């Protein structure tokens, strides 16, 4: 598969406003071939980084070519990062982004060439978690928020799914892919909850050490939830699905078996829960692959796009 940027559409840069009026950017890739008469379905993608770091600019090659290859309008969205914004604020941002995509303002900005009623949520790592939470409504009531409107489908890449898993609660020193202790001083500017709020960070910036530091110290729950009184189980996807309180849309999940950033058990637990409640689930388990495998342009993710095109045509 070609990684030539000549094949990539130029994004339309829009902003949505979160509950406190902060303008948050999104990149919208509208297929050239979409028209008012044949508008493109939407694939909304959230970046990973543990909800602590990352940027909407981290789209994989297959996402960047999806408008031309698959006729999908790809929307890549930023959101406020923890711990300066806790989990309830992040979930509120996600709903605000979804509502904006369904608005007349978005329709006008995209020339009425996008069909926002056909909305598939996607994301990588923590972004995959957001897609599962927003696509089902899990965690919203506990955050005091209205659930997002139902969506057409979910396509989650190597998602975080359960804060109670020992992977997040056991200190890792050193973290396997860092090989040294990360000093607190390296992430001090970013870990202060009263520090400046941000909606993105460069992939190669100093904040990029925040995620491995979180693993080293086993503090993901505290970074996301301190001061909220919300129990971590509120965002446990498999356990919540088994409660019968949520109706998931058709769902696709992919995870590599050698992932040392998010263990693939995070995916298989959710897959088992979806099967238990007889939900529509397609799971790809990729032997020997690590986190972010799809950043390699050789991965076209054909099974995922076949899933998406089928659900948007129903």
Rounded to whole angstroms, the Cα distance separating 38 from 21 reads: 33
pLDDT in tens, 50-63: 999 999 999 999 99
Tell me the two tokens of residue 247. Answer: 């109706």
DSSP state, residue 237 = H
What pTM does this model have? 0.97
Nearest alpha-carbon partner for 231 in 244, 223, 221: 221
Q: How many C-beta atoms lie closer than 10 Å to residue 13's C-beta?
A: 11
Rounded to whole angstroms, the Cα distance separating 250 from 265 reads: 20
Rounded to whole angstroms, the Cα distance separating 143 from 304 reads: 31
- Domains in the chain, ordered, with CATH? 7-312 (3.40.50.1820)
Q: Please give the pLDDT value at position 4.
A: 43
pLDDT in tens, 268-313: 999 999 999 999 999 999 999 999 999 999 999 999 999 999 999 9
Tell me the two tokens of residue 21. Answer: 């009026």
């Amino acid at each position: 598969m070609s990684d030539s940027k000549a094949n990539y559409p130029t994004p339309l840069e829009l902003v949505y406003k979160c509950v406190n009026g902060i303008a948050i950017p999104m990149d919208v890739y509208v297929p050239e071939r979409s028209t008012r008469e044949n508008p493109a379905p939407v694939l909304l993608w959230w970046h990973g980084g543990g909800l602590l770091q990352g940027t909407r600019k981290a789209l994989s090659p297959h996402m960047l070519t999806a408008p031309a290859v698959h006729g999908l309008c790809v929307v890549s969205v930023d959101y406020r990062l923890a711990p300066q914004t806790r989990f309830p604020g992040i979930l509120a941002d996600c709903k605000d982004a979804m509502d904006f995509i369904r608005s007349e303002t978005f329709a006008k900005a995209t020339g009425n060439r996008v069909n926002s009623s056909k909305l598939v949520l996607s994301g990588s790592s923590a972004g995959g978690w957001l897609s599962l939470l927003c696509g089902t409504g899990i965690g919203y009531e506990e955050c005091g928020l209205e659930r997002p409107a139902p969506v057409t489908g979910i396509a989650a890449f190597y998602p975080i799914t359960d804060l109670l898993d020992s992977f997040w609660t056991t200190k890792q020193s050193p973290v396997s892919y860092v090989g040294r202790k990360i000093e607190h001083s390296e992430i001090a500017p970013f870990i202060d909850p009263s520090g400046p709020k941000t909606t993105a960070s460069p992939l190669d910036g100093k904040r990029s050490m925040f995620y491995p530091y979180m693993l080293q110290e086993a503090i993901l729950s505290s970074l996301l939830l301190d001061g909220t009184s919300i129990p971590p189980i509120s965002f446990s996807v498999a356990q919540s699905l088994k409660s019968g309180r949520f109706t998931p849309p058709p769902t696709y999940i992919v995870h590599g078996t050698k992932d040392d950033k998010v263990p693939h058990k995070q995916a298989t637990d959710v897959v088992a829960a979806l099967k238990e409640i007889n939900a529509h689930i397609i799971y790809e388990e990729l032997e020997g692959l690590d986190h972010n495998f799809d950043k390699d342009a050789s991965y076209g993710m054909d099974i995922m796009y076949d899933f998406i095109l089928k659900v948007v045509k129903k």
